[in-house]
Amino acid sequence: MAKDEMNPAFKLIGTRVLRPDGLDKVTGRARYGADFAAPGMLFGAAVRSPHAHARIKRIDATRALALDGVKAVVTRADFPTGLTGEDWNLQENCMAGDVALYDGHAVAAVAATSALLAQDAAKLIEVEYEPLPHVTDVDDAIKPDAPAIRPGAADHSVPDGMPPNVVRYFEFGHGDLDAGFAEADIVRAQTYRTEATHQGYIEPQACVGQLGADGKGEMWVTTQGQWYVRWMCAAVLGLETAQLRVTPSEIGGGFGGKTTVFIEPLSLALSRKAGGKPVKLVMSRSDVLRATGPTASASMDVKIGMKADGTMTAGRAEFRMQGGAFPGSPLNEALECAFAAYKLPAVEHIGHEVLANRPKAAAYRAPGAPMAAFAVESLVDEIARELGLDPIAVRLKNAVREGDRSSYGPRYKSIGLVETLEAAKAHANYAAPLGPNQGRGVATGYWFNHNGDTSVSMAIAEDGTAQVSVGTPDIGGSRASLGLMVAETLGIPYEHVRVNVVETGALGINEPSHGSRATFASGKAAVIATEQAIAEMCRRAAAEWGIEPEAVDWVEGAAQPAGPNAGKFPPMKIAEIAGQMSSTGGPIAGHYEGLPEGVGASFGTHVVDVEVDPETGRTTILRYLVVQDAGRAIHPAYVEGQFQGGAAQGIGWALNEAYIYGEDGRLQNAGFLDYRIPVACDLPMIDTVIVEVPNPGHPYGVRGVGETGITPPLPAVANAIAAATGARLRRLPMNPPAVLAAIKAVRGG
Amino acid sequence: MVEVHLWSGLKRLTDGEITVAVEAATVGEMLDALTRAHPGLAPVIEVGVSAAIDGEIVNGRHVAIPPGAEVFLLQRLKGG
């Protein structure tokens, strides 16, 4: 569908209806992962390695098992052998085998009749370690003489002769790079570093697992993807997948971190060993930080050529990323997003994925894109300032438009980068006066968005209301947006639609709520399912009237003859059709199973004003503007919330957050006191502008909004600090000591 | 014939070619033909790849490739 063919005369799309989960959440009625309980339930605790890298010589659980009330202890010996590939990685990460690979790696787990007893018993499990040399820094890990973490782990992509910890290599580009740089008036190259950060979801991992000797199991869990939990647990434990039923709880944040498993297989293994009793496992914050997936840390070389008028002639990016002791860092996503905003005649990307003695990285909101943006958008800003050019004008000059070749190859379909840049330029924030020690930063960001395996079922109830069953947990307002789309399509009030996130037994497989896909993919599926139900209701009306189904239209929640030639009948409302369905052919429903194609990518532009205290190096965010192309904002308040949330997390990543490892390879800041995420008093109200360049691939124009918002803040804040102080920071976090040191380096003293 | 643009890191596995022409009407046929032409690509494709057909990133093997379409092989994306 072309953009100008999309009907803007919606009744519900774009309205700010009440949140379906609001009352449950503010009254405490919502049931999160740790709120589940089952009769006879035991409580689990994990024993975790205090070493960054150590051979496990002996595990003795005799003293723990002697405690009254301790029902089971599991180690890797209780898991099947012979797994390969990602199945093996998952198993190894959930429970160490011969070697503990990072501080916090689980080596055993215990189940007992109370949580306190389980924790006491865990302390009585004796583990004898032989410490091994370790490495936690990405640039150290890639050295040829670094301790080899897992020899032989490199995949097919790694050329011969690479250092031992390089497990994946990626290279792509187009054009004549040398000619591009030769054409430039100015060529600059710099190195940037970002530290690993955690998703920082408020709700820790929590689950209740039950598994019998017959191989049938149940799990209640906080997750972004119940089908992923099912197949991962089944793979790790050697179960038949369909024998495990997984029910998702309400979720207290995920941001990508809950698209995989950590403790879930342990609860099932403990349950099986304890005779099938359900076992609850809830992680502490310390365990969440030590042992669940943060994002990768990155070391990045970037080179850009630019003409004096701001035209970019060539770009080159060489990234090194560590995602812990396992493959899985977002290397390719980072590189593919690096220059995505720019129309470049020549570009080259090279990437190395490196193992280090850290926890296995998990996805984090636009995985890889924020790091890449930090490097590229910082250097674009630096060169623009050197040339005396306006940062938005430079970006507009080089901005990709529909039909342009992307830096990663394919030509763009409908995109809205230019629209976001122009909206940012026109916003009052971009003209707000700045005082002493204040500076303004601009950056753009990109995310592909995603579709994925999707199953949705919708059904009409006896009174003409509608229920929608989806497999994508609601992490950003998808129940409201799906409800709005279904109600709009049916022509009934929003309040007459209930959207339920259902368990694995209720639908075909679904990918998690990741890749900003829930409102796009489940939404498109729900609309298709609704159209099936509407077609069936038109058939029921046609049968009643004795006319052909093709002669019936669906208008504002009722079937009616398509025109005077179809016959003269009063409209038959949905409640009337639904009330008679048992006598007119039975249930009325629609469903969708497939891969909804038509994904629309999303660009955003951020503008931030900061003030830097030259005495302390402390940065205060004065104003922050997010402009992003949503395609179509189904529920604008949720869209604005996604924009603001992405900015808040990005500001934390830019200014404060970082995994800090000691010389001993242990995580030094495994708690929110020392790992400091922004709180409300750290941030101003974040301004938002929703740009709507509808995605032709979705019935209501949706692109997906969850991830793009975290990509520009890292460079936007760095660019603002550079403007305020004259000091360019190329390493995160830009905390007060780092900023102060940079100011002193520039100004002396 | 479909001309499939590969990422340049794959040229080690394709005798130096970064554009491979294959007979295919769907994404699945294209992936199978690539593997036949260059068996070294098999592990890459088994891990999971996406295709971009005239700019649209698709994951389904059933997706048709129109005559004359511009086709890129991409690593399978994941999100948060």
| pLDDT, tens digit (0-9, with 9 covering 90-100), for A436-472 | 999 999 999 999 999 999 999 999 999 999 999 999 9
Instruction: Closest CB to B79: pick one of A199, A595, A707.
Output: A707
Cα(A292)–Cα(A205) distance, rounded to whole angstroms?
9
Q: What mean pLDDT, rounded, does chain A reach?
A: 97
Return the closest-CA partner of residue A197 out of A362, A403, A390.
Answer: A362
Cβ separation A515–B58 shorter than 8 A:
no
Q: Is A330 touching B (CB cutoff 8 A)?
A: yes
Q: Is the pLDDT of residue A496 over 90?
A: yes
Residues ≥6 apart with Cβ < 8 Å to A452? A510, A511, A514, A515, A517, A521, A595, B59
Cα(A439)–Cα(A558) distance, rounded to whole angstroms?
57
Cβ separation B7–A409 shorter than 8 A:
yes
Cα(A596)–Cα(A519) distance, rounded to whole angstroms?
12
| pLDDT, tens digit (0-9, with 9 covering 90-100), for A135-184 | 999 999 999 999 999 988 999 899 999 999 999 999 999 999 999 999 99
Segment holding B46, helix H or strand E: helix B42-47
What Å distances lie between residue A361 and A89, A323, A506, CA to CA? 12, 5, 31
* Fold of domain B2-75: Ubiquitin-like (UB roll) (3.10.20)
Pairing of β B2-5 and β B71-75? parallel
Looking at CA atoms only, how far is residue A62 from chain B in angstroms? 42
Cβ separation B52–A409 shorter than 8 A:
yes
Q: Which residues of B touch A364 (CB under 8 A)?
A: 80
Best of A160, A170, A171, A172 to mutate (most B CBs within 10 Å, chain B) = A172
Contact by Cβ (8 Å): A324, A358: yes
pLDDT given for residue A7 in this prediction: 57
Q: Which residues of A touch B26 (CB under 8 A)?
A: none
Q: Is B23 touching A (CB cutoff 8 A)?
A: no
Best of B18, B70, B78 to mutate (most A CBs within 10 Å, chain A) = B78
Cα(A94)–Cα(A114) distance, rounded to whole angstroms?
22
Cβ separation B44–A157 shorter than 8 A:
yes
Q: Which residues of B touch A156 (CB under 8 A)?
A: 13, 40, 43-44
Contact by Cβ (8 Å): A646, A626: yes
Contact by Cβ (8 Å): A649, A733: no
Cβ separation A364–B79 shorter than 8 A:
no
Cα(A306)–Cα(A385) distance, rounded to whole angstroms?
12
For chains A and B, CB pairs below 8 A equal 101
Q: Is B48 touching A (CB cutoff 8 A)?
A: no
Q: Where do the domains of chain A lie, and which CATH numbers do they carry?
A: 3-29+451-594 (3.30.365.10), 368-449+600-747 (3.30.365.10)
Cβ separation A156–B9 shorter than 8 A:
no
A466: which strand partners? A460, A497
Q: Which residues of B touch A515 (CB under 8 A)?
A: 77-80
Q: Is B52 touching A (CB cutoff 8 A)?
A: yes
Question: Could you state, in order of their start, the residue ranges of all structural domains in chain B?
Answer: 2-75
Cα(A69)–Cα(A560) distance, rounded to whole angstroms?
68
Token pair recorded at residue A645: 């949330």
Q: Which residues of A touch B7 (CB under 8 A)?
A: 170-172, 409
Q: Is the pLDDT of residue A625 over 60?
A: yes
Tokens 């403790």 belong to which residue? A263
Cβ separation B77–A333 shorter than 8 A:
yes
Among chain A residues, CA nearest to B72: A410
Looking at CA atoms only, how far is residue A630 from chain B in angstroms? 17
Q: Which residues of B touch A255 (CB under 8 A)?
A: 80
Q: Where are the beta strands (DSSP E) in A133-215?
A: 166-174, 186-194, 206-211
Cβ separation A410–B57 shorter than 8 A:
yes
Contact by Cβ (8 Å): A718, A734: yes
Looking at CA atoms only, how far is residue A313 from chain B in angstroms? 20
Tokens 């890749």 belong to which residue? A515
Contact by Cβ (8 Å): A307, A389: no
More confident residue, B32 or A566: B32
What average pLDDT score do residues B45-54 get?
92
Cβ separation B8–A517 shorter than 8 A:
no
Provide φ and ψ at B73, rounded to 5°.
Answer: -90, 130
| pLDDT, tens digit (0-9, with 9 covering 90-100), for A722-742 | 999 999 999 999 999 999 999
Q: Is the pLDDT of residue B59 over 90?
A: no
Helices A713-725 and A636-655: angle between axes, nearest 10 degrees: 50
Cα(A110)–Cα(A122) distance, rounded to whole angstroms?
6
Provide φ and ψ at A367, rounded to 5°.
Answer: -50, 125
Instruction: Closest CB to B63: pick one of A171, A517, A597.
Output: A597
Q: Model pTM?
A: 0.97
Q: Which SS3 state, helix, strand or coil, does residue A277 take?
A: coil
The separation between CA B3 and the C-alpha centre of its own chain, rounded to angstroms, equals 9
Looking at CA atoms only, how far is residue B71 from chain A in angstroms? 8
Chain A segment 128-187 residues within 8 A of B by beta carbon are 155-157, 159, 169-173
| pLDDT, tens digit (0-9, with 9 covering 90-100), for A562-615 | 988 888 999 999 999 999 999 999 999 999 999 999 999 999 999 999 999 999
Instruction: Closest CB to B70: pick one of A169, A170, A411.
Output: A411
Looking at CA atoms only, how far is residue B36 from chain A in angstroms? 17
Instruction: Closest CB to B12: pick one of A159, A336, A595.
Output: A159
**Order of all β-strands in the sheet with A438-447:** A438-447, A602-612, A619-629, A687-691
User: How many residues are there in chain A?
Assistant: 749
Which ipTM did the prediction report?
0.94
Pairing of β A186-194 and β B56-58? unpaired
Cα(B63)–Cα(A442) distance, rounded to whole angstroms?
39
pLDDT > 70 in chain A, percent: 99
Cα(A541)–Cα(A560) distance, rounded to whole angstroms?
8
Contact by Cβ (8 Å): A446, A370: no
Looking at CA atoms only, how far is residue A293 from chain B in angstroms? 12
Q: Which residue intervals of A569-669 are DSSP H helices? A: 574-579, 581-584, 636-655
Pairing of β A312-322 and β A347-354? parallel
Token pair recorded at residue A737: 């000591």
Q: Is the pLDDT of residue A515 over 50?
A: yes
Instruction: Closest CB to B58: pick one of A199, A448, A597.
Output: A597
Cα(A408)–Cα(A422) distance, rounded to whole angstroms?
24
Provide φ and ψ at A310, rounded to 5°.
Answer: 100, -5
Cα(A683)–Cα(A442) distance, rounded to whole angstroms?
17
Cα(A155)–Cα(A157) distance, rounded to whole angstroms?
6
What average pLDDT score do residues A32-59 get?
98
Cα(A680)–Cα(A201) distance, rounded to whole angstroms?
15
pLDDT > 90 in chain A, percent: 97
3-state SS, A316-373, equals EEEEEEECCCCCCCCHHHHHHHHCCCECCCCEEEEEEEECCCCCCCCCCCCCCHHHHH
| pLDDT, tens digit (0-9, with 9 covering 90-100), for A368-407 | 999 999 999 999 999 999 999 999 999 999 999 999 999 9
Chain A segment 707-736 residues within 8 A of B by beta carbon are 707
pLDDT given for residue A749 in this prediction: 64
Q: Which SS3 state, helix, strand or coil, does residue A447 take?
A: strand
Cβ separation B60–A594 shorter than 8 A:
yes
User: How many residues are there in chain B?
Assistant: 80
pLDDT given for residue B77 in this prediction: 79
Instruction: Closest CB to B80: pick one of A364, A409, A411.
Output: A364
Dihedral angle computed from the Cα positions of residues B27, B33, B37 and B38, in that order, rounded to the nearest 10 degrees = 50
Instruction: Closest CB to B79: pick one of A169, A514, A598.
Output: A514
Q: Which residues of A touch B19 (CB under 8 A)?
A: none
- Burial label for A508, CB within 10 Å (0-12, 13-18, 19+), is middle
Residue A586 DSSP one-character state: S
Contact by Cβ (8 Å): A424, A607: yes
pLDDT band at A3 (very low <50, low <70, confident <90, very high): very low
pLDDT given for residue A1 in this prediction: 41
Cα(A485)–Cα(A632) distance, rounded to whole angstroms?
11
Q: Which SS3 state, helix, strand or coil, does residue A468 take?
A: strand
Cα(A500)–Cα(A468) distance, rounded to whole angstroms?
6
More confident residue, A637 or B77: A637
Within 10 A of A594 (CB to CB), how many other CB atoms are there?
17
Pairing of β A497-501 and β A619-629? unpaired
Q: Which residues of A touch B3 (CB under 8 A)?
A: none
Give per-residue burial for A151-181: e unless 16+ CB within 10 Å, then b: eebbebbbeeebbbbbbbbbbbbbbebeebb
Chain A segment 542-601 residues within 8 A of B by beta carbon are 594-595, 597-599
What average pLDDT score do residues A523-541 get?
98
Best of B3, B7, B12 to mutate (most A CBs within 10 Å, chain A) = B7
Pairing of β A466-470 and β A497-501? parallel
Cβ separation A410–B12 shorter than 8 A:
no
Residues ≥6 apart with Cβ < 8 Å to A228? A259, A260, A261, A511, A512
Q: Which residues of A touch B48 (CB under 8 A)?
A: none
Q: Is A412 touching B (CB cutoff 8 A)?
A: yes
Within 10 A of A445 (CB to CB), how many other CB atoms are there?
34
∠ CA A637-A640-A646, rounded to 5°: 140
Cα(A260)–Cα(A363) distance, rounded to whole angstroms?
9
Token pair recorded at residue A172: 């792509």
What average pLDDT score do residues B64-75 get?
95
Cβ separation B43–A452 shorter than 8 A:
no
Residues ≥6 apart with Cβ < 8 Å to A719? A377, A378, A381, A391, A439, A441, A442, A443
Helices A417-426 and A391-398: angle between axes, nearest 10 degrees: 160
Cα(A351)–Cα(A337) distance, rounded to whole angstroms?
13
Among chain B residues, CA nearest to A697: B56
What average pLDDT score do residues A479-504 get?
98
| pLDDT, tens digit (0-9, with 9 covering 90-100), for A186-206 | 999 999 999 999 999 999 999
Q: Which SS3 state, helix, strand or coil, does residue B75 take?
A: strand
Q: Which SS3 state, helix, strand or coil, does residue A125 take?
A: coil
